[in-house]
Structure 1
Amino acid sequence: MEPKIVWTAVSAVAGAISAIAALFTVWNARKSAEEERKNKRVFFTISEPGIKPLPDSPPFRVQITLENTGVYSATDVKGILLFVESDLSGDPDYSFEFSIGNVVDANAPTPWYNDGLHLPNETPPHFVVLGIKYLDVRLRKEFSQCFFMKWHGVTNGETHPDFVHVSIEEKEMVTEHLRDELAPYLDKEDT
């Protein structure tokens, strides 16, 4: 075999390997950029959820503070807050729908409240579910989230102020019970 043919074959193989390596590098860079964008997407957390007395309560204030912990801004934020008895025997006792008209920037606490909650002197424990959906301005994609909490109700006229976490099992039961009401707010993976 002539040396010229050998070197031509070696050059062809080396060129093919280089092309494959370059293709892999481009694919890996795109994948990394996509992951970085996903990690910067809008993502909400909540703080200070509960029922707060007003100067002339009743009525009471239901309050939840949303905070966008992502990097990108959110817009078209819409939500629903549902109270359903903890025995899950019926429809929600209280339902509040809301929207936020302004852009919600990253790390900007955004309190939502309603001052019209009237509670009887004896109210059994309830599950409280917050469902939100919103548009990520940068990714131009709609996302949704649900938060599941429980509230210990009113005993002898004393209103328990805080909402607390539910267990995984309780979350699954509440999701199943409120599937129709929460459908627009459940993540596609939850449906």
Structure 2
Amino acid sequence: MASKKERDWSTTLVTYSTVIFAIVSLITAYITITSWRAQRQADRPYFSVKESPTVEIQKEITFEFEFTNVGKHSASNLMSNTYVFDQSLNVKPVHVDEYALINDIPRETTTRLMIQLASKDISPAEGKVPPQYIVIHLTYSDPVLNQTYQQALYMKWAGVEGGLEHPLVYAHTSEKDKILNYLKAYHLKV
């Protein structure tokens, strides 16, 4: 028969082993849940501009953007708010538009967004168009995660100078605050 001292030592060893196992199990569960949440967020829909946006100037100015859903989940209820305004930031926007897409956008599917500036707002006929900012604010849902996401694209266009059309480029980080302040001043969704 085992002595009382051996039984106490054996009980203490089993208790410590059980506590260590419980702690390891909690840590494993925490890591698993954290990884699962991170993976779910990584699978969410996300729009990327695959090719450089195009600018077409005829009687009107047209900007064409191609957005591709690079996430694993479909995007639904896509809504875009688009704004075009002078880089001087001292006049009202020349273009404010809202567009909603009914269809879901599955993974690796491209959708187009066209912004047309009426010739009454900006006339390219004179061979000169002042530099403009273009802001595209996207809102969409993930039907799998039942969450809504937002993305904003801040672009600038150097306009037309001496009949020469300039390409669209991304705005600098240093310009973001003044763009956001401008949009808030005109009560535009950002």
TM-score by length of 1: 0.86
SS in 2 for 1:104: coil
Count of aligned positions: 179
Aligned position for 1:92: 93
SS in 1 for 2:35: helix
Distance in 2 (alpha carbons) for counterparts of 1:64 and 1:159: 21
Aligned 1:69-148 pairs, distance under 5 A: 69-115=70-116, 117-118=118-119, 119-120=122-123, 121=126, 122-148=128-154
Measure how far apart 1:50 and its partner are.
Answer: 3.5
1:169 pairs with one of 164, 170, 174: 174
Q: Considering only aligned residues, what root-mean-square deviation do their CA atoms show, in Å?
A: 1.8
Distance in 2 (alpha carbons) for counterparts of 1:86 and 1:109: 29
Distance in 2 (alpha carbons) for counterparts of 1:3 and 1:134: 66
Where does structure 1 lack aligned partners over 5 or more consecutive residues?
184-191
Aligned position for 2:156: 150
Distance in 1 (alpha carbons) for counterparts of 2:134 and 2:151: 14
Residue type at the aligned position of 2:88: D
Runs of 4+ in 1 over 3 A off after TM superposition: 114-117
Tell which structure's C-alpha radius of gyration is larger: 2
Residue type at the aligned position of 2:135: V
SS in 1 for 2:155: strand
Where does structure 2 lack aligned partners over 5 or more consecutive residues?
none
Quick check: 1:151–1:160 contact (8 Å CA) kept in 2? no
How many percent identity over aligned positions?
Answer: 20
Distance in 1 (alpha carbons) for counterparts of 2:129 and 2:117: 16
Distance in 2 (alpha carbons) for counterparts of 1:150 and 1:101: 29
Aligned 1:13-92 pairs, distance under 5 A: 13-46=16-49, 47-53=51-57, 57-92=58-93
